[in-house]
Amino acid sequence: MTAPFLSLDAITRRFEPRLILGDRIAARLGARVENRPVRAVTEVSLEIAKGETLGLVGESGCGKSTLGRVVAGILPPTSGTVLIDGKPVIEHGRKVTTRVQTVFQDPYASLDPRMRIGDIVAEGPIAHGLASKADAPGYVRDWLSRVGLDPDFAGRYPHQFSGGQRQRVAIARALAMQPDLLVCDEPVASLDVSIQAQIINLFLELRRELGITCLFISHDLRVVRHVSDRVAIMYLGRIVEIGATEAIYRDPQHPYTRALLGSVPKLVLEDDELVRFETISGEIPSPLAPPPGCTFHPRCPVAVEACRREVPVLFDDSDGRMVACHVRAMERAAMTKEGSA
C-alpha cells in the first residue's frame, strides 16, 4: 500500500485565553477571563494522496481554518503530528519546510501594501535560493504570466489591482515557492461570483499542469464539489465524515452532512416544487464548552442516548467512506446482522 503524501495524526489545537490576551491584559480583566481553553481542533487524523485535492467543509467557527494553518506550519499543533512525504512540517514549534504554501482568504489583507507585487512574489524564492536576485525579474514575470497577469504589472502596488487580480498575485507568490502541497483557505470567498469562477478555473488548470496536492478549505459546498477529489466534513473541531466527493454529495451518511447539503439552494426545481430552504436548527456550540458525547447531538434530529454520552469515532462505512455517527454505526450493525442471518 502506498504511503500517504500528507498525513495528519491526532491533531489537536487549543488556544489558552491568557496566551491570546497576554498576562497583563488578562490580569486586568481578572475573573472575566475564561480559564477554559478554546478547543479549535480535536484529534483530527487525515491522509491526502499525491496529486489529490481534499475539500474541507464546515460552518464558520468549526476549526477548518485553524486546521489549515496547522497543516501549513503557521500554527504548531498542541498535540499530534503533520508529515509531508514522511517528514515533519513543524519541529519544535517552527515550520521547517517550504514544501507547503498557503493562499489566504482575503487578498486585500494578505499582500504587503508597501511592496511592489514583483518584490512580493520574488521575496520567498530569493530567501530560499530558488532564484537569484539577478534572475528574479524573469522568474517573477514567468509566474505572473502563468496566473494570467501582465508581467509588466510587476512594478505596481497591491492597491492598484482588483480583488481577483490580487488573489492571482497571492497564488503566484505561493506557487513561486515551488510547493508540493497548497493550502487554499477560502480563496474565493471574498470575490464576486464571476471572479470566483475565473480563480477556480485558474486553480484547476495550474493543479493539472503542476501536479500539486491541495487542501481546499471552504464553506461553499458547490465550489468544493467542483474542485475536490474527496471531501472531509468538519463540525466543532472534529471530522464527522470523509469520502469520495460524488459519493458524499449523492448519498451523505452523517446527519450533519445531510443537513449541510439540504441547506444549499436548488437552482433547478422539479415541477410544482416549492422554493424552500432547509436550515440546520440551533446554533453551533461554543468551543469553550462543547457538548459531551457527539458535539452535534443538540442539533441532530436522530440523536439517541449514546450520542449524548460517548464521542463517536470514525469507522469504515463502505466504499472508503468514513463516518463518525452512533446512529449510522447501529444501522450498519443491523444491516450486517440481517445479511448474515
Q: Do residues 254 and 331 lie in contact, with contact meaning Cβ atoms separated by under 8 Å? A: no
With a pLDDT cut of 70, the percent of the chain lying above it is 89
Per-residue model confidence (pLDDT) at position 262 = 83
The structure's pTM equals 0.90
pLDDT in tens, 8-21: 999 999 987 655 55
DSSP 8-state class, residue 151? G
Among the ranges given (185-189, 255-259, 277-281), the one the predictor scored with the smallest mean pLDDT? 277-281
Q: Which residues of 234-258 are buried (b: 16+ CB within 10 A; e: fewer)?
A: bbbbbbbbbbebebbbeebbbbbbb
Per-residue pLDDT band for 94 (boundaries 50, 70, 90) equals confident
Q: Give me the mean pLDDT over the 142-155 stretch.
A: 95
Per-residue pLDDT band for 275 (boundaries 50, 70, 90) equals low
pLDDT in tens, 36-60: 788 899 999 999 999 999 999 998 8
Per-residue model confidence (pLDDT) at position 117 = 96
If residue 209 lies in a helix (H) or strand (E), which one and from where to where? helix 193-210
Among the ranges given (15-29, 47-61, 106-120, 168-182), the one the predictor scored with the smallest mean pLDDT? 15-29
Q: Is residue 127 part of a domain?
A: no
Count up the domains in the chain and report the number: 1
CATH number of the domain bearing residue 228:
3.40.50.300
d(CA 36, CA 45): 24
Q: How many CB atoms lie within 10 A of CB 6?
A: 25
With a pLDDT cut of 90, the percent of the chain lying above it is 67
Q: Is residue 235 part of a domain?
A: yes
Per-residue model confidence (pLDDT) at position 276 = 59
d(CA 184, CA 143): 18
Residue 73's domain comprises 6-99+179-254
Residue 232 CA: distances (Å) to CA of 64, 216, 239 = 10, 10, 7
Q: Is residue 315 part of a domain?
A: no
Encoded amino acid at 116, one letter: R
Computed over every residue of the chain, the mean pLDDT equals 88
Per-residue model confidence (pLDDT) at position 266 = 62
pLDDT in tens, 184-214: 999 988 888 888 899 999 999 999 999 999 9
pLDDT in tens, 320-329: 899 999 999 9
DSSP per residue, 25-73? HHHHHGGGS--SPEEEEEEEEEEE-TT-EEEEE--TTSSHHHHHHHHTT
Distance in Å from the first CA to the final CA of the chain: 34
Per-residue model confidence (pLDDT) at position 193 = 84
Q: Is residue 41 part of a domain?
A: yes
Answer yes or no: is pLDDT of 102 > 50: yes
Q: Is 141 left (phi over 0), alpha (psi -120 to 50) or beta?
A: alpha
Per-residue pLDDT band for 232 (boundaries 50, 70, 90) equals very high
Q: Is residue 220 part of a domain?
A: yes
Q: Is residue 170 part of a domain?
A: no
> Of residues 42 and 335, which shows the higher confidence score?
42
Q: Give me the mean pLDDT over the 98-120 stretch.
A: 93
d(CA 181, CA 97): 11
pLDDT in tens, 286-328: 888 889 999 999 999 999 999 999 999 999 987 789 999 999 9
Q: Is residue 147 part of a domain?
A: no
Answer yes or no: is pLDDT of 132 > 80: yes
- Dihedral in degrees, nearest 10, Cα atoms 189, 111, 202, 95: -90
Q: Is residue 311 part of a domain?
A: no
Per-residue model confidence (pLDDT) at position 31 = 46
Half-sphere exposure of 308 (CA within 13 A, CB side): 7
Q: Give me the mean pLDDT over the 55-78 stretch.
A: 93
